[in-house]
């Protein structure tokens, strides 16, 4: 069993963080393994959606491994932050949407990894938080940036300044979670959503993801230009032809993802 298990069924890849004895905490080895798997899956044309979860029922990921972090020098700590940011950036940039199946604690780096996913579906036992302040540090893998963008400045400040945990229902109310299900229903519901996404045109999902990612780092005019460019580019693909022909013929589209 690897520290990051990958299983592909149909057009859905499931990545499972596999360190249940330490609540799937991230150390350098896990981050490097996850980065490698994301790179591999991101280049697979036969994968249309990705599920990311943690092994066991207690945690998605309880954060970075404190035992490894404790003795780092400032230079080593910066490099560790940059490695974590490489992983969160990879989650955003791979062509396929990534759904975080949050099956318990998503704290610190675990919360930051979840924030970088396209969608977060959680169990009723899920707990989110950025408790770095309690350790005398701050978020280092994008929490101060993505939490603000996702939930607003006020809520982000509260969580990061206090280090408190947020339950599943509160996470849903703030838009930190997209949906909440009983633990036993979590993976079937996530799988159902992933299969719906994977049934669409993979190239159009990629175009849409690119436009939405860029919406966060440019002004509206620039975003609209990009959207118009990608919309026009869509009309050069086989999937646009198939999608519209299928609609007019009142039949399901059979996308070729090109």
CATH number at residue 225: 1.10.12.10
- Domain-embedded: residue 162: yes
* pLDDT at position 137 over 70: yes
Do residues 210 and 171 both lie within one domain? no
Q: Tell me whether residue 132 is one of the annotated catalytic residues.
A: yes
pTM of the model as a whole: 0.94
Rg of the chain's alpha carbons, rounded to an integer?
Answer: 19
Q: Write down the pLDDT at residue 218.
A: 84
Marked catalytic residue, from 112, 170, 227, 242: 112
* Residue that is last in its domain, among 198, 215, 234: 198
What sections of the chain are H helices per DSSP?
Answer: 28-42, 66-69, 74-93, 109-116, 143-151, 153-162, 168-173, 183-198, 202-214, 220-234, 238-249
- Domain-embedded: residue 256: no
Marked catalytic residue, from 29, 37, 132, 242: 132
Do residues 194 and 115 both lie within one domain? yes
Do residues 104 and 150 both lie within one domain? yes
Q: What is the mean pLDDT of the chain?
A: 94
Do residues 170 and 237 both lie within one domain? no
Q: Write down the pLDDT at residue 1.
A: 66
- Domain-embedded: residue 254: no
How far apart CA 96 and CA 70 sit, in angstroms, is: 35
How many structural domains are present in the chain? Answer: 2
pLDDT tens digits for 25-78?
899 999 999 999 999 999 999 999 999 999 988 999 988 888 888 889 999 999
| Contact of 110 with 86, CB cutoff 8 Å | no
Domain range for 36 is: 4-198
- Domain-embedded: residue 140: yes
Q: Tell me whether residue 112 is one of the annotated catalytic residues.
A: yes
Instruction: List, in order, residues 6 or more apart from 230 with CB less than 8 Å away.
Output: 207, 208, 210, 211
pLDDT tens digits for 188-247?
999 999 999 999 999 999 999 999 998 878 889 999 999 999 999 999 999 999 999 999
């Amino acid at each position: 069993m690897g520290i990051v298990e990958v299983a592909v069924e149909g057009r859905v890849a499931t990545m499972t963080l596999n360190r249940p004895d330490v609540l799937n905490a991230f150390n350098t080895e896990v981050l490097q393994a996850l980065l490698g798997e994301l790179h591999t899956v991101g280049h697979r044309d036969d994968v249309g959606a990705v599920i990311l979860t943690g092994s066991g029922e207690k945690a998605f990921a309880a954060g970075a491994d404190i035992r490894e972090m404790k003795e780092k020098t400032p230079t080593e700590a910066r490099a560790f932050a940059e490695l974590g940011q490489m992983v969160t950036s990879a989650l955003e940039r791979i062509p396929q949407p990534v759904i975080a199946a949050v099956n318990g604690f998503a704290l610190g780096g675990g919360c930051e990894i979840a924030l970088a996913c396209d969608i977060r579906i959680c169990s009723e036992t899920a707990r989110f938080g950025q408790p770095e302040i309690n350790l005398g540090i701050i978020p280092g893998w994008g929490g101060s940036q993505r939490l603000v963008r996702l939930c607003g400045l006020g809520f982000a400040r509260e969580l990061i300044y206090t280090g408190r945990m947020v339950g599943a229902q509160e996470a849903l109310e703030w838009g930190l979670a997209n949906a909440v299900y009983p633990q036993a229903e979590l993976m079937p519901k996530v799988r159902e959503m992933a299969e719906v996404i994977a049934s669409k045109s993979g190239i159009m999902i990629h175009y849409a993801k690119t436009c939405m990612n860029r919406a966060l780092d440019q002004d509206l005019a620039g975003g609209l230009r990009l959207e118009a460019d990608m919309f026009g580019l869509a009309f050069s693909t086989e999937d646009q032809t198939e999608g519209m022909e299928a609609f007019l013929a009142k039949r399901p589209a059979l996308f070729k993802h090109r």
